[in-house]
Chain A
């Protein structure tokens, strides 16, 4: 049984973070260079944390598997970043951003965490602007805003469709400044392989240099994981190809609790896979649903081209099923319905897994120029990928795995239950409950990295003398040997199937049994099939070359080996959470209108799993969620 002390501040929610900060222990400026902190990952959370702590004077080392920290997948975020600035005078406030986020997450997040996120949001914009992030401006020279899903105010700041890129480049340049000042050392093309614990405290990591294959030890006083989400367990997702669960999963195997692993956000509008060779999915902004109408042919044997199908033979299923909201139903409802019509054989495109998003009516009504003006970038991106002009032929879209709300369990200081091991950004579970609102991921990563971890880490460090452990400690040698052994084992199998073919199969399994909608029989089947596939992987995978060189198949195999275990944990959590909430939709728990039906009596908790050994069932510990500031209400976007 895990002991989970969330360290949530007591008292009024508005004063929680201030009071908490005032009571934290600090490390003095002269002492900070003595403390070494390892930051794993260089996306928005990792780069901002490493830069902030470096600037404070801590001795920071930062690690990323790409060739430069600027490549991390935060760069691909499109739409924007939320902040409760209330520039539009439309009634926004810290409280409203807090309430929107909590409601959007279907009341499965800690109130104090969410409130702090909302409280810090405005300072993130100030910080980013000071770094030179060129946010969109109005003609008077002031910052512009746009609106986003799930809220009634305009609070999203943006740089065209590349907000993530600009924010990451801001954090990246801050990191480069600290590299130049020699406060931070960067290790690129370096992948975390294990976390080293000494007397129960995180004291370092084991890495593999991806170019040379060298296995190296790094000792430190604290370790911060900023290693992102695990959407690639589905093989096809909107994540970058390199995104993986390895760091978080290795932490879990070392005793860190893994919270809500089954909470996965599936985005309704991505470009569908065109064949078995598909390697990733590309998101199309959901703003397209403002003017596009979604339909499939009524006849499963339809052979006509979409433009030749008359109105009466088109099934506008969202408009028919949800007459009040039509094409603008929430993300999860849109995604589930698309899967439903395709499962019934009505899907379009070469694979049968796609639905039309049609701008014909909008163009007729508003004129081509207006519609194209609104969505120029998206139309161009779509045409580039599919070679079809959405002005003439309806777009084809399908849901895709996008973001993972689950992650390592952390307390209010963002520390896991392993002392000295922190998790920030998408790698932790803390702020989005069972569903994340649009434009909130960038906000969370930067709140964690710029403002929270630089303060909270001092509280832990100040209680521990620095430099207690060096890499000479036997724990490092043992961990290094285990990593080498696993590498050798993978290389020695010399079976018949490529790593990619196994990953594709796992992805299909997860999508089928632990995807958009879940049921008991499917999850149980997943729990049976995943271990079988894992077994086959360890007997039949084929990896050429050696471990002493750049070997991309070997890298992927190591990541897949962890996904093959982790997928099972996701299915287990999805099975045990016998309710629907947010993105976790259990077919046996829905309202008459196909909405998620929560069970607050039994499931208003964070499900935290503890690793108990290979082939042992992980143990579940529940952290109850209290609702003091904002009473529970059902998630209703209809009235």
Chain B
């Protein structure tokens, strides 16, 4: 196969960036999209041109590192698929393919197709956990969990934190990501204690990071490689609403008084 690539090139965070055109020969339909990018980079290196920087690691669709907008869609045209699991056989000989980084104010471009997604980690730090120390814990079978609830929690927990939802959203909203974590933990009895402060704090952090608001475009669900349902967003909205009815009180200072 021979393809024509239009790729976003940006030398650093401060650079303004532009699209560059590359014609690439010798593309095998059985190559993964990232193997095609490897092939391009090998070619560029040979010619003495700076190879294209892109994030990737596990290449089996679970680490969430790969992040390319391909022909205008996060992770490309195939549904429920990360970029690393997309194969060149889904394209045709002679195709022109556009490759861009995630576009969002909250995900600044670091170089070429590599973006900074540390905003996601800060959203988790705001409450995406069940407070714990390591050590002896209750016997798990002493807290029964309906399999349906455990499965729903897993449906949400399966989020790989890639950021496709943000890249897909015309508003650059991170609601699906945040909702997935709030739902995963809030559905389980272990996460009940911190359920409402969690929803409130994570949403607050999400806004602070510069993610846009949710307008129910549902593009996030359509382009999520793990096909996480936007039903979780309504769950988050319910939790957030309940949380906002009560004035938060932080009693931790007093609790520790001696």
Residues of chain A having any CB pair with chain B under 8 Å: 48, 51-52, 55-56, 66-73, 75-76, 87, 123, 125-127, 129-132, 134-143, 159-160, 162, 165-166, 169, 172-174, 176-177, 179-180, 186, 188, 211, 240-242, 274-275, 277-280, 282-283, 384-387, 450-451, 454, 498, 500-501, 542, 544-545, 549-550, 552-553
Residue among A67, A160, A177, A544 with the most chain B CB within 10 A? A67
Question: Are B184 and A132 touching (Cβ within 8 A)?
Answer: yes
Q: Is the CB of B141 within 8 A of A162?
A: no
A142 in contact with B141 given A51-B134, A129-B190 (CB within 8 Å): yes
Q: A71-B65, A387-B89 are in contact. Are A176 and B125 (CB under 8 A)?
A: yes
Residue among B35, B39, B125 making CB contact with A179, cutoff 8 Å: B125
Q: How large is the interface on B (under 10, 10 to 19, 20 to 34, 35 or more residues)?
A: 35 or more
Task: From known contacts A240-B58, A240-B63, A451-B134, infer whether A542 and B45 are also in contact, taking CB-CB under 8 Å.
Answer: yes
Is B132 within 8 A of A131, CB to CB? yes
Partner of B147, one of A67, A123, A136: A136
- Flag if B157 contacts A169 (CB, 8 Å): yes
Q: Which residues of B contact A176 (CB under 8 A)?
A: 121, 124-125, 128-129
9 A–B contact pairs at CB < 8 A?
A: A69-B121, A137-B146, A137-B147, A140-B144, A240-B59, A275-B31, A384-B85, A549-B11, A549-B111
Which residues of chain B from 22 to 70 have any CB-CB distance to chain A below 8 Å in the complex?
Answer: 28, 30-32, 34-35, 38-39, 41-42, 45-46, 48-51, 53, 55-60, 62-65
With A132-B130, A159-B154, A279-B59 known to touch, is A68 a contact of B120 (CB < 8 Å)?
yes
B118 at the interface (CB under 8 A from A): yes
A385 to B30, CA, bound (A): 8
Chain B contact surface mostly: loop
| Measured CA separation A172–B157 after assembly (Å) | 12
The answer on a CB contact under 8 Å between A275 and B132 is: no
Q: How far is the CA of A389 from the CA of B248 in the complex (A)?
A: 55
Nearest CB on A from B143, distance (A): 8
- Chain A residues with CB below 8 A from B125, complex form: 176-177, 179-180
Using a CB–CB distance below 8 Å, which chain B residues touch chain A?
11-12, 28, 30-32, 34-35, 38-39, 41-42, 45-46, 48-51, 53, 55-60, 62-65, 81, 85, 87, 89, 110-111, 114, 116-118, 120-121, 124-126, 128-141, 143-147, 150-151, 153-154, 157-158, 160-161, 184-185, 188, 190-191
* Residues of A contacting B128 in the complex (Cβ-Cβ under 8 angstroms): 173, 176
Interface contact B184-A68, CB-CB below 8 Å: no
| Nearest CB in chain A: distance from B211 CB, A | 16
Q: Which residues of A contact B41 (CB under 8 A)?
A: 498, 553
Taking CB atoms, residues of chain B closer than 8 Å to A211 are 110-111
Residues of A within 8 A of B34 (CB): 279
Q: Provided the pairs A123-B136, A123-B137, A176-B121 are in contact, do residues A75 and B63 lie with their beta carbons within 8 angstroms?
A: yes
Give the residues in chain B near A66, CB-CB below 8 Å.
57, 63, 65
**Chain A contacts for B111, CB-based, 8 A:** 211, 549-550
- Is B81 touching A126 in the complex (CB atoms < 8 A)? no
Contact A278 B35 (CB under 8 A): yes
Nearest residue (CB) in A for B205 is A180
User: In the bound complex, how far is the Cα of B156 from the Cα of A165, in angstroms?
Assistant: 12
User: What are the residues of chain B within 8 A of A277 when measuring CB–CB?
Assistant: 28, 31, 35, 38-39
Across the interface, do B118 and A139 meet the contact criterion of CB distance under 8 Å?
A: no
Which residue on B lies nearest to A551, using beta carbons? Answer: B53
- Complex contact B38–A143 (CB within 8 A): no
Determine the distance from Cα of A66 to Cα of B46 in the docked complex, in whole angstroms: 27
**CB proximity of A487 to chain B, nearest CB, Å:** 17
The answer to whether A550 and B35 touch across the interface, beta carbons within 8 angstroms, is no
Task: Given contacts A71-B65, A75-B62, A131-B190, list 6 more A-B pairs with CB under 8 A.
Answer: A55-B133, A69-B121, A76-B63, A135-B140, A275-B30, A282-B59
Once bound together, how far apart are the Cα atoms of A52 and B117, in whole Å? 25
Across the two chains, which residue of chain B brings its CB closest to A275? B28
Nearest chain B CB to A360 CB, angstrom units: 24
Q: Are B64 and A130 in contact (CB under 8 A)?
A: no
Query: Pick the contact of B130 from A76, A160, A173 — CB < 8 Å?
Result: A173
Contact between B81 and A384 (Cβ–Cβ < 8 Å)? yes
> Least Cβ distance of A629 to chain B in Å?
26
Inter-chain contact B62/A282, CB cutoff 8 Å: no
The complex places the Cα of A71 from the Cα of B82 at a distance, in Å, of: 14
Question: Are A385 and B85 touching (Cβ within 8 A)?
Answer: yes
**Quick check: A544 and B57 within 8 Å, CB to CB?**
no
Query: Which of A134, A173, A241 has most B Cβ within 10 Å?
Result: A134
Cα A371 to Cα B246 in complex, Å, equals 52
